[in-house]
Structure 1
Amino acid sequence: MATTAIKEEAVHRDAGLAREIGVWSFAATIINVVVGGGIFAAPAALAGSVGAWAPFALLACGIAMGAIVLCCAEAGSRVPSSGGTYAYVEAAFGRGPGFVCGMMLWLSCVLAAGGIAAAFADAIVALYPVGPAGVQRVVLIVAVMMLVTGINLRGAREGARFAGVMTVVKLVPLLVFVGVGAFWIDPQNLKPTGEVDPGSFGAAIILSIFTFSGMETMLSASGEVSRPEKTVPRALMLAMAGVLLLYIAIQTVAQGLLGPQLATAKEPLAQALGVVHPALIPLIAVGAAISRGAWLGSDVLGAPRILFAFARDGFLPVALGQVNDRTQVPTAAILTHATIGTALALAGEFTWLVLLSALATAPIYIGACLAAVKLRREDVQLIGPAFRVPGLGIASAVGVLSMIALIALGQPNEIIGLFAAIGLSTLLYFLRR
């Protein structure tokens, strides 16, 4: 696809949208969508795989994800258009691969939205039961989805501002956990014991990657980012570096407080902080619930832009590609995504929805890594001078190989489901043509 044609398509796709999201707002929304409820449970699973070696597994994961982040940073500076990774892959390899990537991206987002909304409601019901649990669960799911949808319907700036505020709120209990718990660490608990077989260490790295995914959701709102050729790479690298440091700190403190007990803890952060004082346990429990609700705010800000981009490109009904004249947001796309996410939350459970979502990110990241190399080779720059990553070829290879490893470590039925979804998306593309 010639650069001129790519520019014309991007201009058409983003027409009517307001570029109002700056570096700090964009970084905050990325942190919000990456630091979800999973970090409140992940330390136990990591400790169960590799014990006190878990912080090193997180660091290794950070290298793998860092390679993907660098590829997305360069690709995002070259093609800062609605749809994010869908737009990168389409610009590099054409409409067919772009459509498949976009379908996997939206599928990942909507499955995660359903899973997180379900987990949010289940956590509140467990903490504060009021009346029949089933009824309370339905009310909570519908209420939280209506809240975040209503905010995002008011405008991209309002959606980003809400996500930014909620990011601060959700980080408070995690920072309290690290800041307070660090003074109660038992150094003996941090000493790795025994050997860890490569399979367990590899599984821990893959598990860590699940907790780092999510940036692709917010990249879908790149069509509403101000000075995107600079804002996208800066915000992306700032956010993901902060997330890596936070995760390593959380894992280290949890291990230092609980030691071998961390591997079997059902609520690891709450139980770890209980070592300091039992009165601190509710802080983490409430923080986990707020974290999940806040995550939905960023999802409803970013993910509907995939449907919007699809509609602008002729793959979905025209109504989904229309922008509200007053709020300058794709109203129909937002309502459609939120409605499907709500239905999934009401019908499903957190575990299987989020697991399917996490595995679906692998081909998205592979596509983004390969697209970054192709876009540089063809010198695609839609707005201004692109951000250039030193050693982009190496970063792309590391990202692709790490995602292939993630797929290989999935269960057979999950791998079959992943390739079935890719095959179905390919079929839909040819049928739609």
Structure 2
Amino acid sequence: MGTWALAASIVNGVVGGGIFTLPRSMAASAGPYTMLVYLGCALAMGAVVICFAEAGSRVPTSGGAYGTVEAAFGRRWAFLCGIYIWLASVLACGGIAAAFCDGIGTLTPALAGPGARIVLLLLMFGGIMTVNLLGVGLAARIIASGTVIKLIPLGLFLVVGTVAILGGHRPPESHAAPTPLDLASFGAAVQLALFAFCGMETPLAASGEVADPARTVPKATMLAMVFVPFLYIAIQLVAQGLLGPALAGSAEPLADAMGAVNPTLGLVLLFGAALSRLVWIGSDIFGAPRVLFAFGRDGLLPAVFGRVHPTWQTPYVAILFHTVLAFLLAATGTFEGLAILSTLATAGIYFLACAAALSLRRRDVAIGGRPLTFRILAPAAWVGMAAMVLLVAIGKMGDILGFVGVTVGSLALFAVMRPPRR
């Protein structure tokens, strides 16, 4: 895999189905400060990306953040990083699935009720899980073809929306007084915005399978993560320009914004959003359970997670566990709530990754060639770590306690399992 292919993979991992819902959530939480929140999160992520880029050039092995944390601090903290990666994935999967049901309910109101929602989730998760259980080849082909489907509606939205705004389209005026911004809402907006930037750690797990990884990994990471903020800000601006104050109350903001230009295009966006979410969920169930499988295989989790089906040769226990948990989360949670919880888990990944970059630089670790060295690595790492601590600190007390509980519980589990040294 070369630079552009890896960069495209990172963009695919970051730009998930949540972008079809995010503009509404951001407008409702941050209001006129939405762009400032995006820019602040982009700067924080820029610091994290610098750490990922240098650490990836120093330890260009499969595993991404997990591999660099293990090289820097050992298996205990790598295990915690892996738990964060899996937890962020399953929470995000539940959130995107919840958004998928909301979108289907908008497209077909008869499916908007709680009973229909459960049936829809069962069919969706059951179908995707079956495809993943039957073999990696079929699942990979479906995900690869679906990636193009995911990007087409976003391109259509930006082109048509921009043309409409430049052509004189104006959103309906609202005479309602703006809702005052409180600290809790602003904190939620920051967490939701960072959720939109998360995901690069998953495709970077294949760092050991790219050409000249010491150069390819950092270049691809930088290219992808420079492109993503521009894409998100452009989508937010176009949605705001088409819907105005109504954006904050829209169930399907991109589809409603397109519908304001042309009702038929609105339906196309609704359909495209549903397909995009399905592709993202399929990709998640394809990759994330392999973390549980690897831990079970290596003695870091109960051995049952390391079982492989005798016929299909897939990690069926890990896939079943991950899918059932995602189903339960989607059936009982909302996109915004699950996205925020996923972001807190990701904050743990990025904190450890920034600390690992500092440690690898201090020890001058370099595996497989001369690494990249950024003069601003130290300030970038401290900014990244401080941003992740702040991200957790502004959360609700219950969410913070849950994050602490996962951290302490994971470290305790590692101590109990006592995996053999490698």
- TM-score band, normalised by the shorter chain? 0.7 to 0.9
Equivalent position amino acid for 1:346 in 2: F
Contact 2:64 2:201 in 1 (8 A): yes
User: In the alignment, is residue 371 of structure 1 matched against residue 356 of structure 2?
Assistant: yes
Contact 2:195 2:339 in 1 (8 A): no
Q: 1:1-400 residue pairs with structure 2 within 5 A?
A: 21-120=1-100, 123-124=103-104, 127=107, 133=116, 134-148=118-132, 150=134, 153-154=136-137, 159=140, 163-185=143-165, 199=183, 203-307=188-292, 309-311=294-296, 313-316=298-301, 331-332=314-315, 335-349=316-330, 350-351=333-334, 352-400=337-385
CA displacement at 1:198 relative to structure 2:
8.8
Aligned length: 402
In structure 2, relative to structure 1, the CA distance for the partners of 1:404 and 1:78 (3 Å cut) is same
CA displacement at 1:385 relative to structure 2:
2.1
Which secondary structure does the structure 2 equivalent of 1:383 belong to? Answer: coil
Contact 2:192 2:340 in 1 (8 A): no
Contact 1:114 1:342 in 2 (8 A): no
| Residues 158-195 of structure 1: CA deviation (Å, up to 9, x unaligned) | 83x65454332211111111111112226987xxx999
Name whichever of 345-354 and 403-412 sits farther off: 345-354
RMSD, aligned CA = 3.3
In structure 2, relative to structure 1, the CA distance for the partners of 1:195 and 1:122 (3 Å cut) is closer
In structure 2, relative to structure 1, the CA distance for the partners of 1:62 and 1:384 (3 Å cut) is same
| Residues 122-168 of structure 1: CA deviation (Å, up to 9, x unaligned) | 644653568972434312221123335556x129xx83x65454332
Gaps of at least 5 residues in structure 1 are 1-20
Contact 1:115 1:353 in 2 (8 A): yes
User: In the alignment, is residue 415 of structure 1 matched against residue 400 of structure 2?
Assistant: yes
CA distance in 2, matches of 1:112, 1:170: 17
In structure 2, relative to structure 1, the CA distance for the partners of 1:369 and 1:290 (3 Å cut) is same
Hey, what does 1:7 align to over in structure 2? none
Equivalent position amino acid for 1:270 in 2: A
In structure 2, relative to structure 1, the CA distance for the partners of 1:229 and 1:303 (3 Å cut) is farther
CA distance in 2, matches of 1:91, 1:280: 50
In structure 2, relative to structure 1, the CA distance for the partners of 1:162 and 1:331 (3 Å cut) is same
In structure 2, relative to structure 1, the CA distance for the partners of 1:309 and 1:228 (3 Å cut) is farther
Equivalent position amino acid for 1:244 in 2: P
CA displacement at 1:255 relative to structure 2:
1.1
In structure 2, relative to structure 1, the CA distance for the partners of 1:301 and 1:220 (3 Å cut) is farther
In structure 2, relative to structure 1, the CA distance for the partners of 1:336 and 1:112 (3 Å cut) is farther
CA displacement at 1:269 relative to structure 2:
1.2
Which secondary structure does the structure 1 equivalent of 2:28 belong to? Answer: helix
Contact 1:70 1:389 in 2 (8 A): yes
TM-score by length of 2: 0.84
CA distance in 1, matches of 2:356, 2:305: 26
CA distance in 1, matches of 2:31, 2:94: 31
